[in-house]
Amino acid sequence: MHINLLFNKKVFLLGISFFSCFLLASQKKTVKTVSIIGAEIVKESLILSAMRTKKSTIFSSQEFDSRILRLDAISVKTLYISNGFLEVSVEDSTRIVDGKVHVFLKISEGKQYFLRSVEIQGNQTITDKTINKILEFIPKKPYDPVTANKNLSLVRQEYEQYGKLFSSIMITDKIGDSVNVQIQVEEGPDVYIDTFFIEGLQNLGEDNVTREIAFKSGDLYKKEEIDLTKRRILQTGVFSYAGITPLPVAGSDTTVNVLIELRQFTQKQWSSEGGYFPIEYYRGVEPIPGIGGEIEWRNRSLARSTTNFSARVIVQGLLSEDYLYLIYPKFGMDMDFSNQWFLERRIPTRIRLFYETFTNLGQEGSLSPVMRYGLQLTSHKKFDKFSFIETGLNWEQFIGFEKDQQEIEQRTFKMRGLLDRSDDPLFPHNGYRLTGEVSQTGGILGGTRDYVKIDLGINKYIQIHKKIVLAGRLKYGMIFGWEESYNDVQYEKFYLGGSSSLRGWDMLKFKVDENDMPNGDIIRLMMNWEIRFPLFWILGGELFIDGGYLTDSFRNQSIDQIEWDGGFGITLMTPLVPLRLDFAIPLIKSTGGFNSWKIQLGASYIF
């Protein structure tokens, strides 16, 4: 009897819990509409983009939250003030119909004020022009106090570049028919560094950090040197955090001590990653989307130093033309040593030992395994967050093809670089990128092959309307000294075709031999033009044209040689990279007609 009562009690409590959850779920209301009332000068689309409250669509249900709506009203008011509407008022209200919430935002814009003049007093180190540029004060433009107050800290940081650590800036505005602004600056004294302290080293030797410090005792405190020190410390790969704080010195307003606080990564760890992403499978081909994964063991502080060591096992494969199964699998292992210092000089250096076995299409169409092993010594110099120049020496040995078992030894000096002036690494809207790679194989380095390879490129991005982007790419490459007797084991020559180059042709098969095998050449021209635009939700679209040619002689180059394809694509915006599904059709020059459609699956934009 007691057991039955206990069981019934549990069932009763469980029923109450489910009923409570049902009541809570039924009380949640969704947003049916969002209406903006009174907006005349500021566009309604701009107001809606500043709000987190959105109307529900067939793809997403927007739950109503009164707290978020109140924050939206504040955001919209801030938007108006930043456009010179200093007297704006914003009122939010709601109406519930059939359990759906209709949101209303009533706006009284008021007068729009413009900036008439800016008067700056007390500044000697920094010019009026620089201060106005940082605060974004532009006479005869709408007065924007929001941005000015937000950027005050940037003015102080600018003063820190000149050792003015204790500067103060005060902005006063006089509002009439227009706005007159007065800025009072107190620069303060020049501040010098007395000494520095390091915390958080754990078992790492202090000299591994002190050699990364760009300042010394007695130097003028400069933000540029402080930031450089942070970057250098983080570039060692040992620390997850580096904070530098100036500490006042008792009895002095012109000197500070500097505290360097560090937090180390876990020294030894296992990691793994995998997915569908562009793979640098062949050297003469743009990265090809494929499936890959790796397991890595890393020691970030080898022998209590800043030398990083890692050992990896890598498996990669390309998808078949119908995307149903993997082809051309690649298996690799490598060991990697890296440090920011080499021979007591700050030269970021990486030494890599590697072994790979992969599958290439043989000369008669049979699949034959190829083994590749070697040593790489590279130095990587970054100029900003994404731009770099890399130089290196490669020694590698090939053993491949059942019919041709002679070893191929290549010794190469390579230099490549990237100048990135785009506004986003994954979703660029404006700017450009310049790429270049030059390599010398053989020559004074020796080996069984002797040739020079050059590959140059430019990408350009133009935002032509809101979120619509016109993107273009031009790449030109050439090889000097390539002998016909060379077996192109790793596809060193240039190839075209596939989702990362000319999408109207199958992977690498822009040119084929009598056995329908990919046929590369020593000169390549490639062009891609795209219009990228949003559709709805996280889907986007592309309209594109690709063109290019491969040739074996500089004398044979002409515009008439260019083959073209065109088509459209659908993109899915994921948190990591956009996924592409492109539909392309090549133009047949001899007939003026079209060939069959090709479907290409890609990870990230083509460029």
Each residue of 498-518: pLDDT tens digit? 999 999 998 888 998 888 888
pLDDT score recorded for residue 494: 95
Nearest residue to 416 via CA among 434, 397, 430, 403: 434
What value does the mean pLDDT take over residues 301-318? 92
What value does the mean pLDDT take over residues 573-602? 82
Alpha carbon distance, N-terminus to C-terminus of the chain:
74
What tens digit of pLDDT does each residue of 9-49 get? 444 544 554 444 444 444 578 889 999 999 999 999 899 98
pLDDT score recorded for residue 557: 85
Q: How far is CA 302 from the centre of its chain?
A: 30
* Full set of structural domains in the chain with CATH: 29-108 (3.10.20.310), 115-186 (3.10.20.310), 192-264 (3.10.20.310)
What value does the mean pLDDT take over residues 436-463? 95
Question: How many residues can be counted in the chain?
Answer: 607
Q: Which of 43-47, 176-180, 487-491, 537-541 has the lowest mean pLDDT?
A: 487-491
pLDDT score recorded for residue 473: 98
Give yes or no for a contact between 51 and 75, defined as CB atoms under 8 angstroms apart.
yes
Cα 515 to Cα 362, 441, 486: the distances in Å are: 10, 29, 19
Computed over every residue of the chain, the mean pLDDT equals: 88
pLDDT score recorded for residue 568: 96
Say what percent of the chain tops pLDDT 90. 66
Say what percent of the chain tops pLDDT 70. 90
pLDDT score recorded for residue 505: 93
Cα 88 to Cα 24, 81, 173, 545: the distances in Å are: 37, 7, 17, 48
Q: Assign 288 a pLDDT band (cuts: 50, 70, 90).
A: confident
What value does the mean pLDDT take over residues 189-213? 92
pLDDT score recorded for residue 365: 42
Q: What residue type is 330 in one-letter code?
A: K
What value does the mean pLDDT take over residues 57-65? 79
Between 585 and 489, residue with greater pLDDT: 585
Residue 566: count other Cβ atoms within 10 Å of its Cβ.
18
What value does the mean pLDDT take over residues 408-429? 94
Environment class of residue 26 by beta-carbon count within 10 Å: exposed (0-12), middle (13-18) or buried (19+)? Answer: exposed
Is the per-residue pLDDT at 443 higher than 60? yes
Is the per-residue pLDDT at 278 higher than 90? no
pLDDT score recorded for residue 22: 44
Residue whose token pair is 């949003």: 534
Give yes or no for a contact between 583 and 569, defined as CB atoms under 8 angstroms apart.
yes
Cα 34 to Cα 67, 72, 469: the distances in Å are: 16, 12, 28
pTM: 0.78
Environment class of residue 216 by beta-carbon count within 10 Å: exposed (0-12), middle (13-18) or buried (19+)? Answer: exposed
Phi and psi at 265, nearest 5°, equal -65, 165
Give yes or no for a contact between 105 and 92, defined as CB atoms under 8 angstroms apart.
yes
Q: Assign 480 a pLDDT band (cuts: 50, 70, 90).
A: very high
What tens digit of pLDDT does each residue of 218-241 get? 999 999 999 999 999 999 999 999
Is the per-residue pLDDT at 50 higher than 70? yes
Q: Assign 441 a pLDDT band (cuts: 50, 70, 90).
A: very high
Q: Assign 362 a pLDDT band (cuts: 50, 70, 90).
A: very low
Is the per-residue pLDDT at 470 higher than 90? yes
Angstrom distance (rounded) from CA 264 to CA 299: 12
Is the per-residue pLDDT at 149 higher than 70? yes
Percent helix, strand, coil in the chain, to 5, is 15, 45, 35
293 Cβ partners below 8 Å, 6+ apart?
Answer: 272, 273, 274, 275, 314, 315, 316
Q: Assign 192 a pLDDT band (cuts: 50, 70, 90).
A: very high
